[in-house]
Chain A
Amino acid sequence: MKPARFTYHAPRDLGEALQLLADHGDEAKVLAGGQSLLPLLNFRMASPEHLVDINRLPDLSAPRRNADGWTIPALARQREVETSAELAADVPLLEQALVQVAHPQIRNRGTVCGSLAHGDAAAELPAAMLALGATMRVAGRRGEREVPVEDFFQFHLTTAIEPDELLLEVRVDDLPAGTHTSFQEFATRRGDFGIAGVAAVVGLAASGAVTSCRLAVSGVAPTPVRLTETEQLIVGNVLEPALIDAAGSATQDEVSPTGDVHADAAYRRQLAGTLTKRALREVTTKASLTHV
C-alpha cells in the first residue's frame, strides 16, 4: 500500500500555493493534516500528480476571535480546537463533535478545515458545521469567496471547492444566550464514524419554548442534512417528552437513508430518530441545569 508517484510542493506563502493549484488544478491535491488524504494515497484510490503541502503557510494555525465569533483557519488542528477552553465556552458543539472524531492520534494531525474539505458523509464535523450555520471561505488565484454551509457539501466526498481552490477558513458565530447544543452519535466502536449522528443547536426562551432549532444529521444521505420538518415541529413549543418522541418519529419520516456493510436503511432510519430524541433530551437537561 504505497502511494503512486507525485511531485511534492511545499509553498511558503498562500499566493504560491494558489498559483500551484491554478497551474495543476485537477491533478493536484492539498495536503494539510493528511489523515484522510494519506490513506487514499496509500490505497491508490487517489493518485494526484502534484501534492501541495500547505503546512508551511504562515498565520493559518491558530483559531482567532472575529467580530461575531470564531475563525478557524486551514491549519488549525482538530486537537487544538477540541481542547480550547475559549472555543468550548463559545461554541460547545465543536468540542462535543470533536471528541467523537477517531482518536487523539488522528486529531493531533487532522485539521478542522481538512475534514470539511474532504466532505465524508459520515463525518462528524460537517454535520456540526451545518447545525451551526457556519460560513466557509474558499480561496483561489481568482480571489476569495464565501460559501454558506448550506451550499458547501454537495455529495459524499464532494464540496463546493473547485480544483484550483482551497478551504482557507471556516467561521462560526457565537451562540445567542439561551442556546444549548448536543452531538449524539452511534458508532460501531469507540472512535468510528457514526452509523448516524445528530448535531443539535437549540435556542430556548425562559418559558422553555424553543425559539430556534437547527438539527443536522449525518449518515443518512450523501451529505449532512437539516431536519427541517422536525425543526418546524419543535419551534415555538416546549420540549416535553411527548414532543421529543414526536420529533423522533418526524425524523424517521423525514430521512431516506441507504444501507451498507455497517447497517441497513431501516436501521439507520430508526437510529436517526433515536439520536434526535437523545439530542433534544440532552438539550433540555442542560437548559434545566443552567436555570437552577
Chain B
Amino acid sequence: MSDTKTRTPMIGASVRRREDHRLLTGTGRYLDDIEVLGAAEAAFLRSAHASAQIVSIDTAAAVQLPGVIGVYTAADLAPMQKAIPPKVVHPDLRDVPRLPLADDAVHFVGEPIAVVVATSRHIAEDALDLIDVEYEVRPAVSSIEAALRPDAPRVHEGAKDNISVHVVQRSGDPDAALADAPHRLTERFSVSRGGGHSMETRGTVAQFDENTGQLTVWDGTQSPHYARNMLAYLYGMSEDDIRLIAPADVGGGFGPKAQFYGEEAVIPWLAMHLGRPVRWIEDRRENFVATMMEREQVHEVEIGFDDAGKILVVKDVFAHDQGAYCAGLQVPMITLSTLPGQYRIPNIHTELRGCYTNMVPTSSVRGAGRPQAVLAMERMVDRVAEHLGLDPAEVRTRNFIQADEFPYKVGLTFRDGSPLTYDSGDFPLLLQRVLDKIGYKEAREEQAVLRQQGKYRGIGIATYIEGCGLGPYEGAKIRLTNSGELLVTLAAAQQGQGYETVYAQIASDAIGVDMEHIRVAGGDTARIPFGQGTFASRITATAGPAVLEAGQAMRERLLTVASVLLEADDADLEFVADRICVRSDHEHGISLREIAQVSNIGKHGITMKPGVPAGLETVSYFSPERAAYASGAHAAIVDVDPETGEVDIVSYVIGHDCGSVINPMLVDGQVLGGFAHGIGNALYEECFYDEAGQPQTTSYLDYSLPSAVEVPPVELEHVHSPSPLNPLGVKGAGEGGTIPPPATLANAIEDALRPLGARITEVPLTPPRIVGAINRALSADRGD
C-alpha cells in the first residue's frame, strides 16, 4: 500500500507553523478579541483580608450607579454554590469546600466575594469602589513555618491543625540504611512561591440561548472538557447543553489555567439568569492575587552514602504550601515521585506534609513540583561529592540507572497509583554529551586559574527525570469534510504549542496525504465529546498516538472507497495531491471531494454502492499504559560577584531527551521557553506575603519576569530514547527546560563560593540571598 512517489515524512521535520501568519499580523483571536453583541462586563470584588468572617456586604450604592446592571453575592448564586472538588485527591486528604464565591468566610486576599455586572468594565470597577464590606478580621497564616507552629491560627475554622494531607512513600528499609550508612549528610532547602504569569490573563465569556437551551462559554482554559464537566456538575445541567470553547488563540497557559476557578462558574450563571451575554477578562492585578501559584516548599533531606559515593538511602521530608484550599494534590505528589531522579537508590523515604495557609491556592505551574525535588536531590549529590573530595559529575555517573535497565522500577508509586516505572532513557550518555559540550574538563582547569586570581567561578550540574504523557486518555477525530479536506479534531486546546501544525504533520504521515489538505481544530467540547486537557506535558504522547491511529484508520477507509469506485485493488492505489489514483495510470483516479460526495452525502434515496462505507470519520482515544519519562541534564558555568551577589551565567548547556520528536524546531522552542521560566524561578521570581497575609508583590514593579537580557544564550544537546509506551515513541517536552535550572545554578553558585564556604539553600538565588550566605559564612569563620 505504499506510494511510489517517495513522500517526505512530515514526522521529524521542522515545519514552520501555520499559526504564525495570523499571530504576526495581529489577526489572531484571543478571548478579549471575541465580540459578543450586547455583552455586559463583569468585575469581581475580592477579599481585602487573608482570614475573616464576612459580617455584611452592602451593595445598595453600587446597584444605584448608572450603567450597573446588577451586583451579586454568594446568596444570589445559592443553587450553584457547591464545592469545587480538587483535581487530584488522596484518601487521607482533609479537604475543605472551595465555593465559587466565598459566602460567610474568606481565606485569602483576592478571594472573590461579589460580582458587578455593568455596561462597561470601567463602570463595573466604579461600582466595586461603592460596595461596603464589613469584616471581622482573624489572624492569618502566611508561610509554611507559620502554618506548622502548634499555636498557629487555623486557616479553616475548627480544624485541629493546618495540615491538609500527610503522605509517606518508602522503598527498601530507609531507617536501617541511614543507621548503617558509612556517611550521612543533611540539609534544609526552601523554595519560594511564584506564579505562571502567562502574558494573557484568565477570562470567561458566556452566552445563553433560550431557544436552544444551549450555554456557550468561551474560556482561556487549558482543559475545556474538565471545565465543561465542572459547569454541568455545578449547574445540574446535561453536558450536551454546555458548549465550552477555548479560543483558537490563548496567550499562554503554563498550568494555572488548567484549574477550575469560581469566576468560571459565576460568569455563565449570570449570563443564563440575566438573559444577556456576560464577559469577564481578568486584569493583571487580579492575576497577581487570585490566579493560582506554586512552588513554596521546605525540604529536610538526609542522604546516606559509602566511600565511593554510592547513594545508599535518601530521605526527604517536605512541607508543601497548599494555599487556602486544596485545588489538587498533583504538585506535591509529583515532588514525591520525582526525588530519586536518574539514580539507582535502594532505600527511599519521601514524606509530604501539605499545609493550608491564608494565601491563594497553589496548583501546577510549569515544572509542577519537579524543580523542588530536583533541587533537594541534586544539591545533596553535590554535597556528597564535596564531602568525599570527588568530582560531582563522577558521583552522578556512579549512581545512574544504566541504559540497559529499562523498564526500571523505582520502588515508589506514581500519582496515578501505578508503580513508578521509567520507560526508557540513557542517562550516562546524556550527561556525557552535556559535559563535552560545555567543555567540563577545561572549565575545571580554568576555574582553578581564576580562583588564583581571586575570581569566583563555579560549575554546576543537575540531572532530572520528568513524568509526562499522563493518562487517562486523549482523543482525536478525523473526518473527510464535504469539500474534500481532512479535518483533525482534537479535544486538546493549545496555548502556543503549535497543534495546528504538529498534528497535521502526524496526520499527513498516517494518512499519506500532503499537509495542505489537512486542517487541525481543537479545544471545543461540541466538536468532540471527551478530553482531559493540556497540562503535565502530556498531549504529544497521548493525542499524538490518537491522531496516528485515527489517521491510519482513515487511510484504510479512503482506500476502501476508492478501490470500490475505481474498481481497482487497494494495493494498486496511491495518493497524489488531493486524489487517489491507480499507480500505473494517474488519469484513473478520484478526488477526496468526490469520495466525500459518495460516502458522506450519497444520492438521495439511492442505495449505497456495496462495499462503500457511509460517512468518513474515524475516532481514536489513546490510553497510555502508564506515564512516560523524559529526562535531561543541565550544566552551567557562572561567575559570582561577592560584593553585590550578582550572578553572570558564562555558559549554559541543556541536554534533553524527550524520545522521538515530531517537529524538532517546536521541541527546541518548548525547551528554551521552559528554560526562561527556569531562570525566572532560579534567580528572579518570588511572591511575598506579609504576616497578615497581605500580598506584597502585586505588580510587575515587584515581581520580576526575565527579559531577553536576563535569559542567557543556551546550547542544546539532544538524545532520543523512544518511548515504548506509544507507537510514535514520543514523550513530553513542555517542562524539561524549567525543571533543573534552580538546582543547576544553586550548585554552580555554591561551587563558585566554595572558597568562602557559603551555603546555598534558598531559591530564588537573589543577590541579597547570595550576599547573606557569604556574610554568614564569613562571620562563622570569624567565630561570631
Contact = CB atoms under 8 A, between A and B. Distances in A.
Direct contact of A and B (CB under 8 A): yes
Given A261-B696, A274-B643, A190 B129 contact: no
Interface in A243-292: 261-264, 266-267, 270-271, 274
A43 interface: yes
Contacts of A105: none
B697 interface: yes
B709 A5 contact: no
Contacts of A4: 125-126, 129
B284 A1 contact: yes
A6 to B, nearest CB: 11
A44 B283 CA distance: 13
B709 A189 contact: yes
Contacts of B697: 261
Interface string B683-711: 01010100000001101011010110110
Given A190-B710, A267-B771, A2 B644 contact: no
B615 interface: no
B234 to A, nearest CB: 29
A69 B488 CA distance: 70
A193 interface: yes
A252 B363 CA distance: 43
User: For chain B, which range describes its interface: under 10, 10 to 19, 20 to 34, or 35 or more residues?
Assistant: 20 to 34
B709 A264 contact: no
A193 B696 CA distance: 17
A73 to B, nearest CB: 28
A67 B368 CA distance: 64
Contacts of A2: 121-122, 125
B706 A44 contact: no
A190 B696 contact: no
Contacts of B710: 189-190
B644 A271 contact: yes
A193 B285 CA distance: 20
B715 to A, nearest CB: 23
Interface string A1-20: 11111000000000000000
Contacts of A3: 122
Contacts of A274: 643-644
Given A1-B285, A5-B126, A44-B125, A189 B704 contact: yes
A267 B699 contact: no
A189 B707 contact: yes
A186 B775 CA distance: 19
A3 B775 CA distance: 45
A191 B704 CA distance: 11
B578 interface: no
Contacts of A43: 285, 699
A261 to B, nearest CB: 5
A52 B173 CA distance: 74
B32 to A, nearest CB: 13
A5 B123 CA distance: 9
A267 B126 contact: no
Given A263-B768, A264-B768, A188 B644 contact: no
Given A43-B699, A270-B771, A261 B688 contact: yes
B377 to A, nearest CB: 29
Contacts of A191: 707
B485 interface: no
B643 A190 contact: no
A274 B688 CA distance: 27
A273 to B, nearest CB: 9
B704 A192 contact: yes
Contacts of B699: 39, 43
Contact of B283 (A1, A39, A195): A1
B624 interface: no
Given A43-B699, A267-B771, A186 B125 contact: no
Contacts of B669: none
B767 interface: yes
Contacts of A263: 767-768
B484 interface: no
6 contacts: A186-B646, A190-B710, A262-B768, A263-B768, A267-B767, A271-B644
Given A190-B707, A267-B768, 4 more contacts: A2-B121, A44-B125, A189-B706, A190-B710
Interface of A: 1-5, 39, 43-44, 186, 188-193, 195, 261-264, 266-267, 270-271, 274
Interface of B: 121-122, 125-126, 129, 283-285, 643-646, 684, 686, 688, 696-697, 699, 701-702, 704, 706-707, 709-710, 766-768, 771-772, 775
Top 7 closest A-B pairs, CB basis?
A: A267-B768, A190-B709, A2-B122, A1-B283, A263-B768, A274-B643, A261-B688
